């Protein structure tokens, strides 16, 4: 076991875990931040996506020992900035969610996309969220919500 100091959603947190523990389990089990979901455990579905120093990252495959001093933003903290709020508002306005299990990951990837490309094309959206799987098939509404958020931010 080893102690790690993490910066999560702007707050310093200390955890004592095995170094190889994936960040996802540190968030969910140690910090009780269950907004980030476990889907596949092999980075295939995107449900566990968080931001690591601004980069959309699959928390299920990144050992906590590799985080270093990079700040972590989870779905619980995404509303702290303008892009995150715009995406969340658009998600509600477009009624994107069906079962909701994948949606925190979808939102984190969408925020990363809009922060990098403020007016994404449909192709940009499909490529950037191509690794986020939605079993309910909400892809059309997701694309619509991202375009709406983009317009709201313009």
Partner 1 sequence: MGSCAGKRPNPKRGLRVTYSSTIRRSSGVLILIACSGALSLAQDTRPKAASTTREAGLAAWQQVYAVLTYPRCINCHTATNYPQQGDDRHPHLFNVVRGPEGTGVAGLNCATCHQSANADTTGVPGAHNWHLAPLSMTWQDLNDNILSSPDVCRSLTDRSKNGSLDGSGILRHHEEEPLVLWAFQPGRRRDGTERSLPPLTHEQFVAATRIWIAAGMPCPQNF
Contact yes or no for 23/12 (Cβ under 8 A): no
Instruction: Based on the shown chain and the rule CB under 8 A, indicate whether residue 22 belongs to the binding site for partner 1.
Output: yes
Compute the distance between CA of residue 51 and CA of residue 72 in angstroms, rounded to an integer.
Answer: 6
Report in angstroms how near the CB of residue 21 gets to partner 1 at its nearest.
8
Window 32 to 91, contacts with partner 1 (CB under 8 A): 42-44, 46, 49, 52, 55-58, 60-63, 66
Residue closer to partner 1, measured from CB, 11 or 127: 127
CA distances from 15 to 26, 50, 62, 93, 104 (A): 8, 18, 15, 37, 23
Compute the distance between CA of residue 29 and CA of residue 137 in angstroms, rounded to an integer.
Answer: 29
Window 112 to 131, contacts with partner 1 (CB under 8 A): 112-113, 115-117, 124, 127-131
Select the span of 4-12, 81-89, 95-103, 104-112 touching partner 1 (CB under 8 A).
104-112
Residue 151: name the closest of 99, 105, 114 by CA: 114
Residue closer to partner 1, measured from CB, 77 or 120: 120
């Amino acid at each position: 076991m080893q102690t790690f100091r993490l910066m999560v959603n702007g707050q310093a947190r200390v955890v004592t875990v095995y170094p190889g523990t994936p960040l996802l389990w540190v968030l969910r089990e140690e910090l009780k931040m269950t907004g980030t979901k476990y889907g596949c455990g092999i980075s295939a579905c995107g449900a566990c996506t968080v931001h690591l120093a601004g980069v959309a990252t699959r928390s299920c495959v990144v050992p906590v020992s590799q985080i270093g001093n990079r700040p972590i933003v989870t779905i619980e903290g995404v509303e702290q900035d303008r892009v995150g709020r715009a995406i969340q508002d658009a998600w509600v306005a477009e009624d994107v969610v069906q079962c909701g299990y994948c949606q925190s990951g979808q939102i984190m990837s969408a925020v990363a996309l809009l922060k990098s490309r403020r007016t994404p094309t449909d192709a940009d959206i499909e490529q950037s969220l191509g690794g986020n799987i939605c079993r309910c098939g909400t892809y059309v509404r997701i694309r619509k919500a991202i375009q709406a958020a983009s317009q709201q931010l313009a």
